[in-house]
Amino acid sequence: MAARAGSALRARDHIEEAKQAARQVNEGVHLGTVFGVPSVRIHQLSLAVELGDVGGALRLASGWAPPITMPAERRSHFYIDLGRAFHLADQPERVLSAFREAGRIAPEHVREHSQVIDVVDHLELTTQGQLRDAFADFASGLVKPQSRSGFGLQSGSEQTRKFGE
């Protein structure tokens, strides 16, 4: 939140404090929220993306994946932010791959995620050929704000299949 408010220094201070606290506990649910070293790493990725630090974001994600023991929504968020980092790095093929992985893990989290919708809408307009078609197909599984009534949406199993492709 501090990064979105334009306070990079404050946001980095919060992450450093979280890293120190995370070293004191095992990854798990603490006081109603998932917390631990892997969770902090995901938040570091989010922070790097929010601050536009593409290199830092891609370094944080390189060769790492969230543990399968983490809740699906948290793991999915890692791939959403990774996709956003790839978008900032102008790597649309990798954006699609990251978003598909997020959707495979937690389709309900991805299909209404405003940042996913924004990136996919942008890339659907700016890419060409088969990649544009792939983004259009992915976009067809998203629930955009004006269509939140629930009418005409695909079932959960169809959604899982679409995102998991």
Determine the pLDDT at residue 92: 98
Percent of the chain at pLDDT exceeding 70: 88
3-state class percentages of the chain: helix first, strand second, coil last, to nearest 5: 65, 5, 30
**By C-alpha distance, which of 78, 87, 73 is closest to 117?**
87
Contacts 24+ apart (CB under 8 A), 128-134: 131/92, 131/93, 131/96, 134/96
> Do 99 and 79 meet the contact criterion of CB atoms below 8 Å apart?
yes
pLDDT digits (tens, 9 = 90+) for 1-40: 888 887 888 888 898 998 898 899 888 777 778 788 999 9
Provide the pLDDT for residue 4.
80
Specify the pTM.
0.83
Fold adopted by 8-164: 1.25.40
Mean pLDDT computed over every residue of the chain = 88
Q: What is the pLDDT of residues 134-143, one digit of tens each?
A: 999 999 999 9
- Could you report the per-residue pLDDT of 92-119, keeping only the tens digit for each? 999 999 999 999 999 999 999 999 999 9
28 Cβ contact list (under 8 Å, min separation 6):
34, 35, 36
* Domain residue limits, the chain: 8-164
The predicted pLDDT at position 165 comes to: 57
Q: Which of these ranges, 46-60, 73-87, 146-160, has the smallest mean pLDDT?
A: 146-160
